[in-house]
Structure 1
Amino acid sequence: MIKKVQLPLQTMNLVLGFMIWVIISSLLPFIKEDIDIPADKIAILTAIPVVLGSILRIPLGYYANVIGARLVFLISFVLLMFPVFYISEASSYIDLIIGGLFLGVGGAVFSVGVTSLPKYYPKEKHGFVNGIYGAGNIGTAISTFAAPMIATQIGWSLTVKLYLILLLVFIVINIFLGDKHEVKVKTPIIEQIKGVWKNDKLWFFSLFYFITFGSFVAFTVYLPNFLVSNFELDKVDAGLRTAGFIAVATVFRPVGGWLGDKFQPLFLLMGVFSVYTIAAILLAFSPSIMLYTIGCIVIGISAGIGNGVIFKLVPFYFNKQAGIANGIVSMMGGLGGFFPPLLLATIFSITGQYSIGFMLLSSVSLASLVLVVFMYYQDRLKLAQEVFKSTGQGIMVTNTAGTIVTVNPSFTQLTGFSEDEAIGKTPRILKSNRQEKAFYDEMWKCIQKDGMWQGEIWNTKKNGEVFLEWLNISAVKDETGEDVRYVGTFTDITEHRTNEGNQS
């Protein structure tokens, strides 16, 4: 029973964490009426919670493995009560900066669920499960639209205090429904970091999440003001359109995870960044409100799918270091939500428009597309190398001149010749002199005619022992049909032939 409720429980924990994470930006119009906030400091104030919310994702992801998600969520919610209360009593800009910094704990809890929840499900469901959990970022939308409505009735200070009640309720729920017996992983954090930081995939995923989740946060923060100032929409209309963007991105996150379970995730990311590249160019030219709406919705769909796919890939490639890997990738995503709003604000103050910012997004998306393609072919090459090295058959590859260019470990095991001893030589190093020249002439006629030959042949090992092998030789051709190399695969069948002779 307890294990079955972990997905809905931890998803609701994330909803609450994200609701608290954006308290200040949600209530900023009301807070500004009581506290003097310099106009040039507003972007910094709304971005400050992202800083700690990003950095803390690494230790929270790690400790989710060490002490379990139940305790990490409990401790996080207890800690959040202090900045929430402090902000409710704030009377200065500095108070908001201090309280906002520690609100970051609410955003940091993201790495807890993506580390914990895959333990309860088979690998083929990890994408969908993490996608469902990630949909908890709908908490940002809930606060963005519910908090102002409540504040108009009771004021912003009391509205913030209501979050204290929610925190207390969830503390109690987690005490009773959190899993006390979650599987723990207690590898020291330094060892886990050493195990992942040199892996280029970690930094590729970090870049991809920096773009997909970062753009989600950036659009959420900047859209209301942009739609009002650029298209002269009223605040309610702008708010509803922003809500639509958040809803689309949130709904498509579990869709992305589910698609990642069903299809090749890297193909999906290729599609995501292709769409990003085109949509960002569209937005850069500030089209009509209709085209702009379409562009934003396309970005929202792509962001949601991309976010879901990435957290299908992370536990797949970093199963033993999932906590620290999830923490680092999600941290970079959080930072991706910190820098774009500041960058867009700076670009707008200098140029009076956002076009350059969108063109930068398009350029980074195109670079990411190239990296995903590179990862895909790198994985295919790695798979081919693993098959080459692990197969039980001996493999020898020669060029068209008959010079050996590579051999696999099984070749060495079967013949006694090491890789260094074989490369640069010809297959004659194995010749036993038991076959006549006519045998080899007929073999090569068959290869030239049919592109392959197979049959029994006697060869000699390095130690002089003669053995019978079953040999397959295939010609590898280029686009013009010319032979460029030959691949020979063989198996020692001496013992098998001896057994047959004894039986007869």
Structure 2
Amino acid sequence: MIKKMQLPLQTLNLITGFMVWVIISSLLPFIREDIAIPAEKLAMVTALPVVLGSILRIPLGYYANVLGARVIFLASFVLLLFPVYYISEAGTYGDLIIGGLFLGIGGAVFSVGVTSLPKYYPKEKHGFVNGIYGIGNLGTALSTFMAPIAATQLGWSLTIKLYLGLLMIFIVLNFFFGDRHETKVKTPIMDQIKGVIKNEKLWLFSLFYFITFGSFVAFTIYLPNFLVTNFDLEKVDAGLRTAGFIALATFMRPVGGWLGDKFQPLLLLIATFVIYTGAAVLLAFVPSMGLYTVGCLAIAFSAGLGNGVIFKLVPMYFNKQAGIVNGIVSMMGGLGGFFPPIMLSLIYSLTGQYSIGFMLLSEVALASLVLVIWLYYHGKLALTSEVFNSTGQGILVTDIAGNIKSVNPAFTKLTGFTEQEVLGKKPNVLKSGKQEKAFYQDLWSNLKEKGMWQGEIWNKRKNGEDYLQWLNISAIKDETGEHLRYVGTFTDITEERKA
């Protein structure tokens, strides 16, 4: 029973953590009425919670494996009580900076669930399960939507104090319903880091999540104030529109995970960055409210889709190091939410507009698209290489003139010849002398006319021993039907013939 409760409980935990994480950005228009915040420092106030929320994802992901999700969620919510209360009593810009920094714990809990929940489900459901857990992003939408409404009636200080009660409820829920017997993984953290740090897929996934989740966080932080100052919207209206952005991105996350379970995840990422690039170009021209809405919703759609797909890919490639990899990838996503608001504010202060910032965003998305395409085809080539090297059949590849270009390990095992010994030579280095010249003439005639030949042939090993092969030779053709190379596969059937 407890195991079945982990997905809904941990998803609600994430909603709570994310609600707390964005308290300041959700209530910033109200807080500014009482606390003087210089315009050039607004980005720092809203972005600082993202810093600790990003960096802490590595240790929280690791310790979720070591101690279990129950302990980590409990400890995180207890610790959050202090900065939430401190911010509710804030009277200066410095108070917001100090309290906001420690609000990052609420965003850091993300890496706990993506590490813990796959333990309860088979691999073919990991994308969907992590996508459902990602609905916890909805916490930012709930705060963005509900906090301004409550602050209108109660004031921002009392509204923030309401979050203390929410945290207490989830401390109790995790204490009683968290899984005390979750499977633990206790590989030392440095051993796990050393095992993945040189894997290029870790850094590619980190870059992709830097953009997709980073844009989700950045737009969540950036939109409420931007819509008020640039389109003269009411604060509640701006909050509603931002909540719509968050809701669409959050809904697309489980959809992306589910699609990742059903289809090739890298192809879905290609589609993600195609949409993303186009939307960022549209936003760069600072269009009318209608077109701006279309661009933002396209970003939300692609960001949510990409977020779900990426956390299908992580357990596919890093099953044993999921905790530390989830922490690193999700940390990079959090940092992706830290830099864009600062960059946009800096560009705006220098140019008076945001266009250059969005054009830079489109260029980064385009570069990511190229990298995903490379990763997709690199993976196909790696699979081909793996099959080539691991098959039990001997394989040799020749050019059109019959010069050997490549052989596999099974070729060496069956013939005794290493690749270096046969490269550039003709296959007749294996010739036994038991077949007449007419046999080889017939073989090549069939190969050139029909594109293939198969049959029994006597060949010789490096040690001089004759053996009987079953040999298949196929021609590799170009689009015009011209032969480019020949591939021969063979097995030793000497013992079978004797039997």
The normalised TM-score by structure 1 is 0.97
Structure 2 letter corresponding to 1:237: D
Q: Distance in 1 between matches of 2:234 and 2:169?
A: 36
Aligned-residue offset at 1:143? 1.3
Q: Which amino acid aligns with 2:469?
A: E
Q: What is the Cα deviation at residue 326 of structure 1?
A: 0.5
> Unmatched 5+ residue regions in structure 2?
none
Offset of 1:31 from its aligned partner? 2.4
Aligned to 1:163: 163
User: In the alignment, does 2:489 pair up with 1:486?
Assistant: no
What residue number does 1:325 align with?
A: 325
Measured after TM superposition, the shift of residue 6 of structure 1 is: 0.4
Rounded to whole Å, the distance in 2 between the matches of 1:374 and 1:315 is 20
**CA distance in structure 1 between the partners assigned to 2:289 and 2:154 by the alignment:** 35
Tell whether 2:404 aligns with 1:407.
no
* Structure 1 residue identity aligned to 2:32: K
Give unmatched runs, 5+ long, in structure 1.
500-504
The CA deviation at 1:104 is 0.5
SS at match of 2:455: strand
Q: How big is each residue's C-alpha offset from its partner over 1:25-63, in whole Å with a ceiling of 9 and x where there is no partner?
A: 222233223333222211101101000000000000011
Question: C-alpha offsets along residues 188-214 of structure 1, whole Å, 9 cap, x if unaligned?
Answer: 111111111111111111111111111
- The residue type equivalent to 2:373 in the other structure is V
Q: What is the match of residue 224 of structure 1?
A: 224
Q: 1:63-212 counterparts in 2 under 5 A? A: 63-212=63-212
Letter matched to residue 89 of structure 1: E
1:434 Cα deviation from its structure 2 partner: 0.2
Look up the match of 1:376: 376
Task: Give the superposition deviation at 1:486.
Answer: 1.0
1:134-178 Cα deviation digits (max 9, x unpaired): 110111111122222222333322222222221111111111111
Identity of aligned residues (%): 75
> Which residues of 2 match residues 24-63 of structure 1 at below 5 A?
24-63=24-63
1:352 is matched with 352
Offset of residue 234 of structure 1: 3.0
Q: Which residue of 1 aligns with 2:365?
A: 365
**Aligned-pair CA distance for 1:231:** 2.9
In structure 2, relative to structure 1, the CA distance for the partners of 1:248 and 1:147 (3 Å cut) is same
Change in CA separation of 1:94 and 1:187 when aligned onto 2, cut-off 3 Å: same
Q: Distance in 1 between matches of 2:225 and 2:41?
A: 15
2: CA distance between counterparts of 1:42 and 1:223? 13
Q: Give the distance between the partners of 2:341 and 2:88, measured in 1 at CA.
A: 25
Residues 460-482 of structure 1 show CA distances to partners (whole Å, capped at 9, x for unaligned) of: 11111111010001111223332
Q: Which residue of 1 aligns with 2:430?
A: 430
- Contact 2:477 2:485 survives alignment (8 Å): yes
State the shift of 1:286 in Å.
2.0
Structure 1 window deviating more from structure 2 (143-152 vs 330-339): it is 143-152
The CA distance in 2 between the partners of 1:268 and 1:218, in whole Å, is 23
- Evaluate the alpha carbon distance shift between residue 158 and residue 239 of structure 1 in structure 2; reply closer, same or farther with a 3 A threshold: closer
Q: CA deviation at 1:117?
A: 0.5
Q: Which amino acid aligns with 2:236?
A: V
Secondary structure at 1:193 match in 2: helix
Q: Does 1:387 align with 2:392?
A: no
- Retained in 1: the 8 A contact 2:214–2:333? yes
User: What secondary structure is seen at the aligned counterpart in 2 of 1:457?
Assistant: strand
Aligned partner letter, 1:340: P
Corresponding residue for 1:19?
19
- Which deviates more, 278-287 or 146-155? 146-155
Q: Which deviates further from its counterpart, 58-67 or 138-147?
A: 138-147
What's the CA shift string for 1:220-253, capped at 9, x where partnerless? 2222232233333333332222111111111111
Q: Distance in 2 between matches of 1:79 and 1:242?
A: 28
Count residues in correspondence.
499
**TM-score (normalizing by structure 2):** 0.98
Tell me the residue number matched to 1:502.
none
CA distance in 2, matches of 1:108, 1:67: 16
Alignment match, 1:309 = 309
Say which is worse superposed, 288-297 or 356-365, in terms of deviation: 288-297
Q: Which moved more, 1:210-219 or 1:331-340?
A: 210-219
CA contact (8 A) 2:469 2:490 kept: yes
1:458 partnered with 2:452: no
Shift of 1:291: 1.6
For residue 400 of structure 1, report the CA deviation from its aligned partner.
1.8
Q: Distance in 2 between matches of 1:112 and 1:182?
A: 12
- State the partner residue of 2:420: 420
Q: What secondary structure does 2:342 align onto? A: helix
Mapped partners of 1:308, 1:447: distance in 2? 49
Task: Give me the CA root mean square deviation.
Answer: 1.2
Does structure 1 conserve the Cα–Cα contact (< 8 Å) formed by 2:446 and 2:452? yes
How many angstroms apart in 2 are the aligned matches of 1:28 and 1:336? 21
After superposition, the C-alpha distances for 1:404-428 in whole angstroms (9 at most, x for unaligned) are 1111111111111122222222212
Q: Secondary structure at the match of 2:433?
A: coil
| Separation of aligned partners in 1, 2:465 and 2:355 | 74
- The answer on whether the counterparts of 2:144 and 2:242 sit within 8 Å (CA) in structure 1 is no
Distance in 2 separating the partners of 1:431 and 1:7: 64
Q: Per the alignment, in what secondary structure is the counterpart of residue 32 of structure 2?
A: helix
Q: Which moved more, 1:86-95 or 1:59-68?
A: 86-95
